[in-house]
Chain A
């Protein structure tokens, strides 16, 4: 019994590719959380 529609291979590739690109943003946000978002802000404003 089919519980999942089978997408055409081009669509599947396109979906996985976009998903991986978004995942890149996630990873970048994770590893840059401190040095970038906070560090840059601290430098700019002197806030701590």
Chain B
């Protein structure tokens, strides 16, 4: 455990510049963190809107609201906006805000590059949105009907909107890579004197591992979509069988990125939980080094299991066996983290403020999603489950609890630090229950309709699936509405409320609680003194 003695910064009177300039030219990690979080929230609502249309269409069999191509365009856009627009930027927002505070650094290592990483995002989002709307204009070509996986040959046949999308992915990739470089350099070079790597909070470690994953896999996605672009416009045949290429090659490239990507989405959130659990269990983390080891193991294994998404393309028996065994092995380090967190709560003096409520729900429901993951990892079983609504249920159970709720938990946990105000606990708990219950109503039935044979990414379905789809859609509408409450709570907290102390939660540990709430514009200009107790 590390403790700090107060070393007050002497430059605190330097406030932020005022007006638009403060944000446009910001090199301040707190302001950039805020912009990332606000951007992510806007994208959450955009992505959510497309999900509402999808569930409205699936409320009944037959075509009611949207045509098949538009339906698939919505599915594609929903996934890409949620992954690249909402979850990743929100996690980057937490990283920007918290890593310098947690390691006693005055700012990120490369503050101007930090500004660039963020401001690429709105441009990328614009391209992403254009890829959705361009087909509605005369001469705009066909809609993107591939899903977020962009498999050829379909993605070679889509009109110009695919080019907008490829450009959007390039921009998003540049933004992530620059942000990751910044995070890696900050963690290695900017720690307060005496703060050793193994003393870093798990959240910082989780982001370090995530940043390395991003560095290793985002360039491969970039290469894949670049080859797609070349096949589309410059006469190459990387993925065209008639020219000697192979569409399955794209699947390997995509999933070499795609599977590590799911760990990129969950690791920062799992890191957040390691901050929350000790605070509300009033006990130190059960194991610190073992968590670091488990995260590194997850990242390493996560990079060599990608083809479990392609069991049905006809790989050799040796290959599918390899991918099956490695995939199932990942449940060992994942399980280790879950048990570590349960042991942290064990016999603790627990209280259940909203961040802790989310944490407990995550441990229960993320584990459930992990279990369906192990089912999918088994080759003969996946031959049946593949491309069914069961897969949709699986990844929503891992992604919402694993990634999104961890981010919500982190936002509630650190909101008093950021704003200087306590949020309204009663409203937040209402949000928690509404959100979590309606989430389960939405996605639990999808396991059964999937097992019964309803395919994913299809606009219409057999009448025998009607009832469960109706339940799912009704759940989804409540789920959607719950986010308005979230927005209200955030706005209310920013505007006022009970004043938060520097240490907003009585037993919270870590350097971030040594500075005032809200922190001055510049913190740790004089680094804290680290004492090892």
Q: Which residues of A contact B (CB under 8 A)?
A: 1-5, 11, 14-16, 18-19, 22-23, 25-27, 29-31, 33-34, 37-38, 41, 45-48
Contact = CB atoms under 8 A, between A and B. Distances in A.
Query: Chain B contact residues: over half helix, strand or loop, or mixed?
Result: helix
B228 to A, nearest CB: 12
Contacts of A19: 109-110, 113, 181-182, 185
A48 to B, nearest CB: 6
B253 A34 contact: yes
Nearest to B256: A37
Contact of A34 (B110, B185, B223, B525): B223
Interface string B211-245: 00001111110111001000000000010000000
Contacts of B256: 33, 37-38
A45 B521 CA distance: 55
B319 A22 contact: no
Interface size on B, as a range, is: 35 or more
A5 B253 CA distance: 41
Contacts of A31: 223
A2 to B, nearest CB: 5
A15 B222 contact: no
Nearest to B31: A3
B172 to A, nearest CB: 14
Contacts of B180: 22
A38 B249 contact: yes
Contact of B307 (A2, A3, A47): A47
B525 A45 contact: no
Contact of B319 (A11, A29, A47): A47
26 contacts: A1-B17, A2-B14, A3-B14, A3-B17, A3-B25, A3-B28, A3-B521, A4-B107, A4-B112, A5-B525, A14-B189, A18-B184, A18-B189, A19-B110, A19-B182, A22-B185, A25-B215, A26-B215, A31-B223, A33-B219, A33-B224, A34-B223, A34-B253, A41-B252, A48-B249, A48-B315
A38 B224 CA distance: 11
Given A26-B218, A30-B223, A34-B223, 17 more contacts: A4-B112, A15-B110, A15-B189, A19-B113, A19-B185, A22-B215, A25-B216, A27-B219, A33-B220, A34-B227, A34-B238, A34-B253, A37-B256, A38-B249, A38-B256, A45-B319, A47-B316
